[in-house]
Amino acid sequence: MSRIKVHDKYFVPYLSEKEILERIKVVAAQINADYSGTKPLFIAILNGSFMFAADLFKNICTDAEICFIKLASYKGTKTSGQVVTAIGLDMDIKDRHVIITEDIVDTGRTLSYFIPQLINQQPASLKVAVLLHKPDAKVFEVPVDYCCFTIPNKFVVGYGLDYDGLGRNLSSIYQLEI
């Protein structure tokens, strides 16, 4: 793996595909243990979480369902400050054990917008599983129950995450070069 260019910016290798998949297996094992005998519903937030949600879900061995919603809050490498629901939830989550699956918690804006909407619908329980967490970027408090990697406050791309639409197809994660 070497330095890559996405649009006008350079990125350097940060987390390899192997490291990512190994860590996802560990987190999936925690979820399998915690949800044994229940039938959790994973709600994956598009676009960014599609690869993480797929790899996590493949490692879930209790009966489980998955559905997708689409929220957007990012423009380029800066958050736009506004969350938009582009595709809403089409499942009844009342009395369900729900696990939100998100690519990254950065400022926390996206999930602090979405979580109250889910709580209104009275799930039996609600937890958050994230691939990446940037605690230093926190503006809004969000409970992160399952986290694969805690990372510094630097922009990353790859493995589903994009810089202005590009980079999602990379199988590993790259960090913005300074």
Q: Applying CB under 6 A, does 107 fall inside the site for ligand XMP?
A: yes
Whether 106 sits among the annotated catalytic residues: the reply is yes
Query: DSSP alpha helices (H): ranges in the chain?
Result: 17-34, 50-58, 109-119
Report residue 153: phi and psi, to 5°: -80, 65
Strands 173-176 and 78-87: unpaired
The binder of ligand XMP chosen from 48, 68, 114, 127 (CB under 6 A)? 48
Question: Considering CB distances under 5 to 8 angstroms, the limit depending on partner class, which of Mg ion, ligand XMP, none binds residue 101?
Answer: none
Strands 65-75 and 4-6: unpaired
Smallest gap from residue 95 Cβ to ligand XMP (A): 27
State the binding string over 57-76 for ligand XMP (x if CB under 6 A, else -).
Answer: ----------------xx--
Q: Which stretch binds ligand XMP (CB under 6 A): 10-18, 25-33, 35-43, 105-113?
A: 105-113
Q: Applying CB under 6 A, does 79 fall inside the site for ligand XMP?
A: yes
Smallest gap from residue 59 Cβ to Mg ion (A): 21
Q: Using CB atoms, what's the residue nearest to Mg ion?
A: 48
Smallest gap from residue 87 Cβ to ligand XMP (A): 14
Numbers of helices and strands, H then E, in the chain: 3, 10
Distances (CA, A) of 132 to 20, 58, 66, 97, 160: 10, 19, 20, 22, 12
117 Cβ partners below 8 Å, 6+ apart? 89
Q: What is the SS3 assignment for 110?
A: helix
Summarize as ranges the residues that interact with ligand XMP (CB under 6 A).
Answer: 48, 73-74, 79, 102-110, 155-157, 161-163
Residues forming the active site? 106
Summarize as ranges the residues that interact with Mg ion (CB under 5 A).
Answer: 48, 103
